[in-house]
Structure 1
Amino acid sequence: MIKLIVGLGNPGQQYEKTRHNAGFLFVDYLADLAGVRWVGASQFHGEIAECNISGSKVILLKPATFMNKSGMSVGKLLRYYKFSAEDMLVVHDELELSEGAVKLKRDGGHAGHNGLRDIIAHIDSRDFYRLRIGIGRPVVGKNVADYVLSKLSSDGQLNLASLFDALSKKLDALIVGDLTAINDLQISR
């Protein structure tokens, strides 16, 4: 059962609505859906929101440490609440999935994602759920860092909105880590 959902992203207005902030965008969507507000939590180096999802209390976290240093925030919160890694879902952008696609997995490596790499290093575990939000790859020759830090196009924003809406109808499956129900998700626009 998921007790903590961590959205990965970078704090600051210049990073809002960028591809790299797909995790922040999703947890913001969940907070809005649940009608809860974000509260600064300096002890966790981030913002948290507590909500009820599918009858379960869930804490949402947006680390304020920048993407590549997310592990400090996540580790502190896990230890404070005495959650295990298996109780956590990390939501992040994924270059290897097309824009608007989603994949839920449990366990595994960081696949080059620096936010995941830092979380794994701080909690000394790979045994957590990851919701990978597809952002696609840049065209050949375009710098990957520039691509992930660029703003989503209006079509990209619509794709994410459609994806988040479809995911909202499967929150029961998401909270229990039902890989099949989430990975069979199809968005239509």
Structure 2
Amino acid sequence: MSAAAPRLVVGLGNPGAEYTETRHNAGFRFCERLADKLGVRFSHESRFHGFVANARDAGVWLLMPQTYMNRSGQAVGALARFYRIAPAEILVVHDELDIPPGQLRLKFGGGLGGHNGLKDTSAHLATNDYWRLRIGIGHPGDRNEVVNYVLKPARREEQGQIDEALDRALAAWPMIARGEWNAATTRLNARPAALK
């Protein structure tokens, strides 16, 4: 497991106003909040196929691919190659069906859980060995409903839980930024008291 601090944080989602509030855009929402916290603004960078922000003081790039979820790796790979960022220095933030709303999981490497954004990212990085912050959005209960589910906004109560999870993730950012992955994992993977 790598102890390197992240040099690139990627929020996965779909571009366009019609997707802004959907469950699938949880990664975008995290990146937007992190940019606010770090005092940086996104600008469109066509060579990186997305919105990019450079938090120089923190030594980290933020990226929101504008390629649609299934082609996210195109943007991740382009920026990582250009700035010579190793996969172990990348944190990908994404929605996760297999985790209830309000819960988080931080992990390094492992399987892709059927997430098309992760599949494409792994293909472009030629490895699964990068950090992921999984934001729980819950499962509709029927796999045939997954596409409709992720492309719709969460119910009000669930969105509140997701927002609280995003707040907890931001509170752990200083640990992540220092490469204190074990401490961040312990904090973020703990089930919040409100959900027990």
Query: What TM-score do you get using the length of structure 2 for normalisation?
Result: 0.89
The answer (yes or no) to whether the contact 1:163–1:187 under 8 Å persists in 2 is: no
Q: Which residue in 1 is equivalent to 2:109? A: 107
Query: What TM-score do you get using the length of structure 1 for normalisation?
Result: 0.92
Q: Aligned in 2, Cα 1:113/1:36: closer, same or farther, shift over 3 Å?
A: same
3-state SS, counterpart of residue 98 of structure 1: coil
- 1:27 and 2:57 are equivalent in the alignment: no
Count residues in correspondence. 187
- Give me the identity figure in percent: 42
Unaligned runs of 5+ in 1: none
The answer (yes or no) to whether the contact 1:166–1:185 under 8 Å persists in 2 is: no
Q: Which residue in 2 is equivalent to 1:76? A: 78
Q: Aligned in 2, Cα 1:187/1:170: closer, same or farther, shift over 3 Å?
A: farther
The answer (yes or no) to whether the contact 1:46–1:73 under 8 Å persists in 2 is: yes
Q: Which residue in 2 is equivalent to 1:145? A: 147
- 1:116 and 2:122 are equivalent in the alignment: no
Which stretches of structure 1, 4 residues or longer, exceed 3 Å deviation after superposition? 139-142
Q: 1:1-189 to 2 correspondence within 5 Å? A: 1-51=5-55, 56-140=58-142, 143-175=145-177, 176=179, 177-178=181-182, 179-184=185-190, 186=192, 188=194
Q: Aligned in 2, Cα 1:139/1:87: closer, same or farther, shift over 3 Å?
A: same
- Give 1 or 2: higher helix fraction: 2
CA-based RMSD of the aligned residues comes to 1.7
Distance in structure 2 (CA, Å) of the matches to 1:185 and 1:167: 13
Q: After superposition, give the CA deviation of every residue in 1:53-101 in whole Å (9 maximum; x if it has no partner).
A: xx63111100000000001110000000001000000000100000111
Distance in structure 2 (CA, Å) of the matches to 1:69 and 1:169: 30
3-state SS, counterpart of residue 101 of structure 2: coil
AA at the equivalent of 2:172: K
Distance in structure 2 (CA, Å) of the matches to 1:88 and 1:144: 27
* Larger CA deviation: 16-25 vs 164-173: 164-173
